[in-house]
Structure 1
Amino acid sequence: MSMTDTHLDELVPSRYAVNVSDIEVLVISDGVLPITASTLATNTEPENLAGWLHDMYLPPDVLDWPLNVVVVRSADRTILVDAGLGVEFPDFPRAGHTVARLQAAGIELPSVTDVVLTHLHMDHVGGLLSDGVKARLRPDLRVHVAAREAEFWEAPDFSRTCMPPPVPEVLRSCASRFLSEYRNKLRPFETEYEVAPGVLVSRTGGHTPGHSVIRLASGGEQLTFAGDAVFAPGFDNPGWHNGFEHDPEEAVRVRVDLLTELAATGGSLVATHLPFPSVCHVAAQGDVFRCVPAVWDY
């Protein structure tokens, strides 16, 4: 498998390779999703969010929401962390590219030994539901997800979320379909599980009850894939609630704890919805934080 040599005929790069000592990491852009800007901060005055969007040179009403997944190679394991949206959502034509971009990077689906899911929202599992994908995956594939996450989606509670009206039902049906189709491949864990040497998945809760992050550690280097624990406004406004968070107060605690940890350790951060390739460091500034983009490694 080559993670760096094959190129897509695209003007904008869609994959970025970085090493964590002996662990290979490939960040892949699944594309972008349109998102209603108001869902980025549901507990602050509209003018505060409008000011942030203006300062970040982002549109005021609907913006493109980056969607990233990662491939991790440690020892003899090739691990896909999240799977993007998939191609079955025609309203989102600019997302759902994970499978094609894996292939363009020389990563064939049968080579994937493990899938780790940060949570079961459709933009994290949809790629596994696209036509023909499951049949191309190896029979002994292991899909790691927190037990609490699988349990939650049997009867999900959206009472504390703030999403556009059609979204909760789409999320519920997508998660239900995923659990039905992949139940025999699930390897649920309670609090944490070492998927491969230096690859630890840990349940955080907050965004969803079983939301998890993946910490990579090798040779004194560290990288954390934070899933949906950190969004772009969450550095300088960590207390803002995102409309997709099922427990907003707990999500704030998780976000602050994680950003505090990364600021202290100096470890790298990658997150699902930060601008591609999203590799950055975290600096603490009083009770808020600053995203320090990593220098690209050529």
Structure 2
Amino acid sequence: MTNAVVSRRSLLGVGAAAGLYGLTGLASSPVLAKGPFLNTQAPTFFRFKLGAAEATIISDGILPLGDPHAAFLGISPGDLDAMLTSNFLPVGAATLEQNILVLNTGDKIIIFDNGMGVSKLFGDTTGKMLMTLKQAGIEAKDVDALVMTHAHIDHCGGVIGPDGKPSFPNAELFISEADFAFWTDEAKVGPNYKAFYEQAVRNLMPVKDRITFFKDGQEFLPGVQAMFTPGHTVGHTIFLIQSSKDQLCYIGDISHHPVLLIEKPLIEFAYDTDPKQAAKTRVRVLDMLAANRTRILGYHFPWPGIGHIGKAGDGFRYFPTAVHTMDVAPL
């Protein structure tokens, strides 16, 4: 057929021919009723084995960051657009994920970061953590530890629920002392980040007596080691998780974007407390992860955020892991 547009008459001809060749089901089946749009997705969790532990990634919902030109700095608008376009990403808006790791070691259930909570600073698509945790079959009362990379609004917001009570009544909290001290001090935070200060105070101060401050390099929970990575915040921390022979690095906000801050790691991010230090820290960490071929989990990377970092010229490249190739836990 030379015409690329398939006409109704052509389709009827195909149906008639199918009947002639005995495909009576195609030719004589009744017209199907139209179905309504469902407008729903599958529950947002993914479960896999990590050594002797079981890992589950849940979502706090997508976080619309807005205009990438306002968030990613130190690069010309044209170069930024070219990077996004070449990776089939929109140039007008950046959308981040919020991939929360739940680690069940057999003895403890540990949650890494906990989303936006009740704050709607970035819209109505956030604050889904408790719902997706329940969808994953995990009860909030069974959680033993809440570990936080830092005290930004989208990483500590789920500690206190909408009712003003702790969402995880039996959990001990872990964060760096530097970040706790900074983000709960209004004078240090300053007026431009008032919402961040209010979020930290709302979620951390009511449970201050249950907070433990880890140290750099400390294995503060079995198989969980803290590594201080300042710059994004004064006390930003990533975590090396080891179980049997398997290792995973939970990188928090070392990079908010799988392309922009990976391929050109010296690009600065508007929400960094110290952008220059954050860029230097990012290069150091990405070098380590690439050299050691360590599997990572990126909090803001495309769902479910699991992959590897490799060297690519003067920068790096993110290689997402196909989830069907992982040791997926049986459901």
TM-score class, shorter-chain normalisation, is: 0.7 to 0.9
Deviation at 1:221, TM superposition (A): 1.9
Partner of 2:209: 184
Quote the RMSD (CA, aligned, Å): 2.1
Q: Deviations along 1:81-131, whole A, 9 cap, x unmatched?
A: 111111342751111111111111111111100000111111111112322
From 77, 102, 109, the counterpart of 2:108: 77
Does 1 or 2 have the higher relative contact order (CA < 8 Å, sep 6+)?
1
Question: Is the counterpart of residue 48 in structure 1 residue 79 in structure 2?
Answer: yes
User: How far apart in 1 are the matches of 2:71 and 2:280?
Assistant: 17
TM-score normalised per structure 1:
0.88
Could you tell me which amino acid in structure 1 is paired with residue 246 of structure 2? E
Q: Give structure 2 stretches of 5+ with no counterpart.
A: 1-38
Q: Deviations along 1:62-89, whole A, 9 cap, x unmatched?
A: 2322111111122411101111111342
Quote the sequence identity (%). 28
Deviation at 1:262, TM superposition (A): 1.2
3-state SS in 2 of match to 1:102: helix
1:116-135 matches, within 5 Å, as 116-132=147-163, 134-135=165-166
| Structure showing the higher strand proportion among its residues | 1
Partner of 1:113: 144
Check 1:136–1:27 CA distance in 2 against 1; reply closer, same or farther (3 A cut).
closer
Could you tell me which amino acid in structure 2 is paired with residue 291 of structure 1? Y
Partner of 1:231: 256
Partner of 1:30: 60
1:160-179 matches, within 5 Å, as 168-179=193-204
Partner of 1:66: 97
User: How far apart in 1 are the matches of 2:314 and 2:299?
Assistant: 23
From 267, 286, 304, the counterpart of 1:277: 304
From 245, 249, 265, the counterpart of 2:276: 249
Q: Give structure 1 stretches of 5+ with no counterpart.
A: 1-8, 160-165
User: How far apart in 2 are the matches of 1:236 and 1:195?
Assistant: 33
Could you tell me which amino acid in structure 1 is paired with residue 273 of structure 2? H
Check 1:102–1:198 CA distance in 2 against 1; reply closer, same or farther (3 A cut).
same
Greater than 4 Å deviation, 4+ residue runs: 155-159
Partner of 1:143: 173
User: How far apart in 1 are the matches of 2:131 and 2:43?
Assistant: 14
Could you tell me which amino acid in structure 1 is paired with residue 201 of structure 2? S
Question: Is the counterpart of residue 259 in structure 1 residue 264 in structure 2?
Answer: no
Matched positions, count: 283
Check 1:41–1:102 CA distance in 2 against 1; reply closer, same or farther (3 A cut).
same
